[in-house]
Amino acid sequence: MHRENEYKHLARNTRKRGCEEQNAQLRAQWESLATTYEQLADQSKKNDDTGNSYDPLDPTRTVWPSSST
């Protein structure tokens, strides 16, 4: 799945959870998070279109350098 689709999926799930929330403040926070995921999806699409990509969640990227000790 492309990163754009993953963010859209997260936005849908987050928005759904927000709709089920009774507390107005928490509902607003869920909506804010869903909007952020949508923005990330748009940004991800633009990155795909330009060919520039930096994916902090890339599973092939080494997070911790190996220790020689």
pLDDT by residue for the chain (69 residues), tens only, comes to 588 899 999 999 999 999 999 999 999 999 999 999 999 999 888 776 666 666 666 667 665 555 555
Angle 34-55-41 from CA coordinates, rounded to 5°: 30
Residue 11 tokens read as 């936005």
Is 0.75 topped by the overall pTM?
A: no
In one-letter notation, the amino acid at residue 61 is R
